[in-house]
Amino acid sequence: MAAGRNDGRAALWPGVAALAVATGYLIALLAVERPAVVIALLAAGIAVVVAAAWLGLFGRVSAAFAEHENRLALGAVTAAIALAAVFHEDHFVLLLVTTVLLYSVATLGLNIQFGYAGVLNFAGASFFGIGAYTSAVLNTHTAIPHLVVLLIGGLLAAVIGSLLLVPVLRTRGHYAAVVTIAFALLLKTFLEVNDILGGPQGMQVPSMKILGWSFNDNIELAGVSLSFYMNYFVVSLLLLIGAFIVVRRLERSWVGLNLDALRLDETAASCFGLDIARWKITAFLIGNFLIGIAGALFGMVGGFVAPNNYTFADSLILVSILLLGGIGNPWGLVVATFIVVVVPEKLQAIQEYRFLLYAAMVIAVLLFRPEGLLPRPVRRYFPGWQP
Amino acid sequence: MDLGLFAQYVMNGLMLGMMYALVAVGFTLFFGVLDVIKFSHGDVLTVGAFTALATFVGLTGIGLRSPWLELVVMLVAATGAMALLGMLIARYLVMPLRGAPPLNTLLITLMLGTVLRESVRLFYPQGGNPKPFPALLPRASIDLGDFNLRLDNVMMLAAGVAAIVALQYLLNRTKLGLAIRAVAQDEETARTMGINFTAIVLVTFAIGSGLAAFAGVMNGLYYNEINFGIGLYLGVIGFSAAIIGGLGSIYGAILGGLLFAALQTVGTVLLPFASAYKDVFAFAVVIAIMAWRPTGLIREKISERV
Amino acid sequence: MTALLEARGLTKHFGGVLALDGLDLAVAPNEILGLIGPNGSGKTTFFNVVTGIYRAEAGSIIFDGAEISAAAARTVYRVGISRTFQRSRLSLPLSIFDNIMIGNHKHLNQSLWFNLFRRGDFKCEFEASYRAARALVEVFEPALADRLFEPVEGLPMIDRRRIEICRALISAPKLLLLDEPSAGMTHDETKELMDDILLVRERNRNLTIVIVEHEMGVIERITDRCVVLNFGRKIAEGPYRAVAADTQVQQAYLGVA
C-alpha cells in the first residue's frame, strides 16, 4: 500500500467519500437492534473493506488524508456532530459514542508512549482508572471545579506513572513491560482491599457541573429534547479534538522525530545528541496525562468507578486497539477504537468473548499484517506543503 | 518470633521460591536461546495445571483410585501436552517473527497468553471459578516443636530440586545441552557447526513448557486449588525473578525466584494487615533492584553489536 | 601543534577479550587520517570508545582541549564529533530528510513549547533545515535531492551510505569518524563517494576526518597519514607508502612467513 504520494496533489474526494461512507455505516450500525441484522451489517462492512483494499482504494484515501488533512479533520468533526444529532435522544448510543471518544483519547496517549517512543505500557487501563477514581474522590469530597478535577486526574496519572517507570526507563523494553503488568495486577488488588476507595463495589461519581450547569439533566433546546449525555458528548469531543491536535503536532515536529529516532535505534540516536531518558520520560508523561484526563471524564460520564473496569485485560484491549489500528497512525486508532468498543456492545453474544477474540485478532495481525489497519505514513511536517 | 513460626515462614518461602524458580528458568531458557520474551509462559503453566486436573477427572471417571498412579499419569499428561504446546508456539508464532522487531514477539506471546487464559476461563467447565485440585500426596506430617513439617511439602521441594538438578545436568553434561548452550551463545556459529537450529529451538521450548506444567501441578498440589489467573500472576513473578537474576543465566533465575519469595515473606511479616501488600512490597523492591542493576545480579546476555 | 583528538593509554576489555591495549593515538587538526589494521584490531572499538558508547577502563581522551573520556555519547556529539557506523544504522521507516535531521539535533529547537505551540516559527526552522539538507544531499547524489521525503527503506545500499554521511555532516562537526564507508560498494561507487568526501572537505577546511577502511586504494588516495592497529595497539604510523612498506604491518596483515 502506498505511503501517500508527495509529488502532485492528491485528490480530496476519496477522503470525503470515505468519511461519508464511514459515517453512514456507523449510524446504521448504531441504529439497528436485532443481532441478525447487526451480523449482516458487519459482514457487509468487512466485505466492503476487503473489496476496497483489493481495488487499491485505501491508497487513494490515505493520500487524500495526507494531503488535505486539515479539511478532512473538519469533515470528521462535522460527521461526529451529525451522528450526535441523529441520536440526540438516545441515551445508550450517546453514552457509547462518548465512551469511544474517551477511549480514543486514551489510546492516543498510549500511542505517544508506545507508537512513537516505543515505551511499553501495559497498565493503560489502570492509569485510566486512576483518573476515574480521582474524579470519584474529588467530586465527592471536595468542591474543586470539575474541569480542574480533569487536569488533576491527568497529573496524578502522569506522576504515578513516572514513579513507576523512571527507574526502569534506562533499561530494556521488556523491563517496562513487566513493571507495568505488575502494576496493573497490583492496582486492582489494592483498590479491592481498600474500603476508603469503595472496595470491590467501587464508588459513585457525582456528575459533572461546569459553572453551575449540571450535566445530569436532559436539555431542552428550541423545543427539541436532548439526552443529558449530550453534555458529556460535547466535552469529550472537544477533548478528543484537543488531544488529536496535540498528538499531530507532536509527531510533526522535532520532538516527534526524536521519539521515532529513539524507538528505532537508541544507540545511534544517542550518538547524535539525543537524551534518551529525557525523551522517554517526556513521552510517557504526556501520554499518561492524556490517559488520566480521559479517565477522569469517563468516571463522571459513567457515574461510578469500580476496580473491575480497569484491569490488566482492559489494558490489553487498549494495546490491541493500537496494534489493530496501525501503530502510530491517529486516524487508524480512532477507527479501531470505534470497532473494538462498538461491536461487542451491539453483539452482546460476543461480549464475554471479547478478550479472547481481540487477542486472537492481534495475533493474526502480527503474523500477517503487522502495520495494522491503517499503516503509518512517512512523516509530513506540514500536509500539503511543497518545497 | 518463635522458632516454630520462623521455620514455617522459611518452609513457605522455599516452596514458593522453588515454584517461582521453575517458572523463571523457563523464561531465561527462552531468552537465552532465541532472545525472546515468551510472555505466554505463565499461562502455559495454567493450561498445564488444568490439563492435569482434567486428566484426574478422566482417571477417576474410569475408576482409577491409586493416588500415586494418578499423579504419575497426570504429570506425564500435563508435561507431555505442554511440551507439545510449547513446540507449536515456537514453530508457528515465535519463529516466523524472528525478522520482526523483538517487540512483536513480546506482543504476540502476550496476546497468546490471553488466548490461553481466556480459553481456560470460557471453555473449561466452570473455568471462571477456582477449582479444587486433588491432594494426591501423603498427608503425614511431623511435629518439630511448634513447627508442623508436612511430608508432601518436603516431597515437592525435593521434586523441584530434582527437576532443576536434572535440567542443569542436561544443559551441562549432555550433547543436547551443549547444542542448546551453543545456540544460546551464537546462533550463526552453531548453525555452521552443523547444529539443527530449528530442532534445538523446539526442544528448548518443549523443555521450558514441560517445566511450566510441572510447576503448575506443584502449584495445584500446594494450594489444593487452581484458577485461570494463576499463570498470569506466576508469570509476572517468574519473569521479574529471571530479570533480577540476569536474563540468560539459570543460576540467576533460581536466585531471583528464591529472592522474590524471600521478599514476599519479609513483606508478610512487615505488613500483616493485607496479603496484597506483600506483593506491593516485593515488586517495589524488585523495581528498585532493576533500577540499580539493570543487567541483573548476574549479567544479562549482551546481544547487541555496535 | 596540538592534536585535535588525543587518546592516551586507552584500554578496553570485552569479557575475556582485550580490544584496546593501552592505545596512544593523536589526530591533527584538518587532516584526513586513515585507521587501518586487520580484523579485530580495535578500530571500531576505538570509535565506540571515543564516541562514548563504551567507556574505557583506563586511559584518557582529550578533544579540542577538553577531557571527554567519561563523556556520554550525546555530550561527545555536542562538542563536535560525528560518525557513521560499520553496519549502516539508518532508521529505515523514516524519510531521508528525517534521517538527516536526526544528525542535526544540536541546531534544532527541542523545546516542547516551540514545537507544539509556535508553529509559525517552527515552519521557518523546518524550511531552513530542508534547504540545508537538500544542499548537502546534492553534493553526494543530486538525483536524491528531490526525493527527500521518501522512506530510506527502498534505497540501494550506496545511497544509504551517502545519507548516513550526510547525517553525520549536517551538524558541521569538527571531527568526522567514518567506519568503513565503502563497505559493499563497487570500485566506481567508492571512487565517487571519496570524491564527494574530498569535495566536502574542500568547502569546509575546518573538518578533520578519521577513516577506517579496508580498501588500501582509498587510503592511499585520500589520507594524509595513517595509523595501523594490531591487537588494540598502534604498531605503525606515517604516510601510507611508508606504512605499507613496514614489515611489522605486513606481518600483521599477512602473518609471519
Q: What is the CATH number of the domain that holds C189?
A: 3.40.50.300
The rounded percent of chain C whose pLDDT value lies above 90 is 68
**A6 — pLDDT class (breaks 50, 70, 90):** very low
Q: Which segments within chain B are labelled E, that is strand?
A: 131-132, 141-144, 147-150, 225-226
Q: Are A249 and C119 inside 8 Å of each other by CB?
A: yes
pLDDT of residue B85: 94
Among B240, B239, B229, which Cα is nearest to B290's? B240
pLDDT of residue B306: 55
Amino acid at B87: M
> What value, to the nearest 5°, has the Cα angle with vertex A254 and ends A253 and A259?
100
Structure confidence by residue, pLDDT tens digits, B32-85: 877 788 889 999 999 999 999 999 999 888 887 788 888 899 999 999 999 999
Total domains, chain C: 2
Closest chain C residue by Cα to residue A6: C149
Q: How far is C21 from chain A (nearest CA, A)?
A: 24
Place of cell 461512507: A21
Interface check for C44 against chain B (CB to CB < 8 A): the answer is yes
Rounded to the nearest integer, the mean pLDDT of chain B is 86
Q: Looking at the domain assignment, is residue B7 inside a domain?
A: no
- Cβ-based contacts of A267 with chain C (< 8 Å): 53, 73, 89
Q: Which segments within chain A are labelled E, that is strand?
A: 203-204, 209-210, 213-214, 219-221, 224-226, 304-305
- Cβ-based contacts of A316 with chain B (< 8 Å): 110-111, 114
DSSP lists the bridge partners of residue C14 as C17
User: Which of helix, strand or coil describes residue C179?
Assistant: strand
| Closest in B104, B280, B288 to A370, CB measured | B104
Amino acid at B120: V
Rounded to the nearest integer, the mean pLDDT of chain A is 88
**Residue A326: φ, ψ to 5°:** 110, 105
Structure confidence by residue, pLDDT tens digits, C156-214: 988 999 999 999 999 999 999 999 988 888 888 888 888 888 888 888 888 999 999 88
Q: Are A170 and B294 inside 8 Å of each other by CB?
A: yes
Among A296, A156, A131, A144, which Cα is nearest to A210's? A144
Q: Which three cell numbers stand for residue A41?
A: 451489517
| Domain-ending residue, one of C104, C132, C164 | C164
Mean pLDDT of A32-39: 87
Q: Is the pLDDT of residue C128 over 80?
A: yes
Helices (H), chain C: 43-50, 73-78, 96-102, 112-117, 119-140, 157-169, 187-203, 216-222, 240-245, 247-254
Task: Dihedral sign for Cα B54, B60, B66, B67, please.
Answer: positive
- Cβ-based contacts of B100 with chain A (< 8 Å): 366, 370
Q: How many residues would you count in chain B?
A: 306
Mean pLDDT of A345-366: 89
Q: How far apart are CA A58 and CA A1, in angstroms?
A: 8
Q: Looking at the domain assignment, is residue B6 inside a domain?
A: no
Total domains, chain B: 1
Which residues are within 8 A (CB) of B158 and not within 5 positions of it... i.e. 6 or more apart?
none
| Domain-ending residue, one of C164, C183, C202 | C164
Is residue C210 within 8 Å of residue C226, measured between CB atoms? no
Mean pLDDT lowest for which of A98-112, B126-140, B182-196, C42-56?
B182-196
Find the helix or strand (DSSP H, E) in which A83 lies: helix A69-86
pLDDT of residue A8: 57
pLDDT of residue B35: 78
Q: Which three cell numbers stand for residue A117?
A: 517512543
Q: Is the pLDDT of residue A324 over 80?
A: yes
**What is the largest distance, in Å, between two alpha-carbon atoms of chain B?**
63
Is residue B220 within 8 Å of residue B133, measured between CB atoms? yes
The rounded percent of chain B whose pLDDT value lies above 70 is 97
Phi-psi region of A37 (alpha: psi -120 to 50; beta: other; left: phi over 0): alpha
Q: Looking at the domain assignment, is residue C186 inside a domain?
A: yes
Q: Are A185 and B243 inside 8 Å of each other by CB?
A: no
Q: Which of C53, C137, C149 to mutate to test the interface with A (most CBs of A within 10 A)?
A: C149
Closest chain B residue by Cα to residue C87: B306
Q: Are A268 and C126 inside 8 Å of each other by CB?
A: no
User: Which of helix, strand or coil describes residue B131?
Assistant: strand
Among B228, B235, B205, B233, which Cα is nearest to B49's? B228
Q: Which domain holds residue B168?
A: 12-292
Is residue B229 within 8 Å of residue A189, measured between CB atoms? no
The rounded percent of chain A whose pLDDT value lies above 90 is 45
CA dihedral B27, B28, B32, B37 (to 10 degrees): 30
Mean pLDDT of A62-75: 85
pLDDT of residue A349: 83
Is residue C223 within 8 Å of residue C240, measured between CB atoms? yes
Interface check for C48 against chain B (CB to CB < 8 A): the answer is yes
Mean pLDDT of C105-129: 94
Q: How far apart are CA A270 and CA A253, in angstroms?
A: 18
Is residue B64 within 8 Å of residue B134, measured between CB atoms? no
**C114 — pLDDT class (breaks 50, 70, 90):** very high
Interface check for B306 against chain C (CB to CB < 8 A): the answer is yes
pLDDT of residue B1: 65
Q: How far apart are CA A136 and CA A298, in angstroms?
A: 10
Q: Looking at the domain assignment, is residue C142 inside a domain?
A: yes
- What is the ipTM score, two decimals? 0.92
Mean pLDDT of A270-277: 93
pLDDT of residue A359: 93
Domain A91-368 CATH assignment equals 1.10.287: no
Closest chain A residue by Cα to residue C114: A253
Find the helix or strand (DSSP H, E) in which A128 lies: helix A124-141
B125, exposed or middle or buried, with CB in 10 Å at 0-12, 13-18, 19+? exposed
Q: How far apart are CA B106 and CA A315, in angstroms?
A: 15
Q: How far apart are CA B228 and CA A313, in angstroms?
A: 13
Q: Which three cell numbers stand for residue A227?
A: 439526552
Interface check for A268 against chain C (CB to CB < 8 A): the answer is yes
Q: Looking at the domain assignment, is residue C85 inside a domain?
A: no
B partners (3+ CB pairs within 8 A) are A, C
Q: Looking at the domain assignment, is residue B180 inside a domain?
A: yes
Q: Looking at the domain assignment, is residue C89 inside a domain?
A: no
Structure confidence by residue, pLDDT tens digits, A120-144: 899 999 999 999 999 999 988 988 8
Please state, as a whole number, how many other Cβ atoms lie within 10 Å of the Cβ of residue C79.
15
Q: Specify the higher pLDDT residue, B233 or B36.
A: B233
Mean pLDDT of A106-120: 93
Q: Looking at the domain assignment, is residue C185 inside a domain?
A: yes
Find the helix or strand (DSSP H, E) in which B102 lies: helix B102-123
Find the helix or strand (DSSP H, E) in which A106 lies: helix A91-111
Q: Is the pLDDT of residue C35 over 90?
A: yes
| Domain-ending residue, one of C164, C181, C215 | C164
Q: Which three cell numbers stand for residue A362?
A: 492481534
Among A377, A354, A307, which Cα is nearest to A2's? A377
Mean pLDDT of B276-289: 85
Q: Specify the higher pLDDT residue, B257 or B249.
A: B257
Amino acid at B261: A
Mean pLDDT of B15-25: 92
Q: Which domain holds residue C218?
A: 5-80+173-254
Q: How far apart are CA B111 and CA B98, in angstroms?
A: 17
Q: What is the pTM of this model?
A: 0.91
Residues 237 through 256 of chain A touching chain C, CB cutoff 8 Å: 246, 249-250, 253-255
Is residue A71 within 8 Å of residue A10, measured between CB atoms? no
Q: Looking at the domain assignment, is residue B183 inside a domain?
A: yes
Sequence spans of domains, chain A: 1-86, 91-368
The reply to whether C76 and C178 lie within a common domain is yes
Which residues are within 8 A (CB) of A51 and not within 5 positions of it... i.e. 6 or more apart?
none
Interface check for A386 against chain B (CB to CB < 8 A): the answer is no
CA distances (Å), B122 to each of A319, B108, B119, B131, B204, in order?
Answer: 22, 21, 5, 14, 30
Q: Which three cell numbers stand for residue A141?
A: 469530597
Residue B109 sits in a domain whose CATH number is 1.10.3470
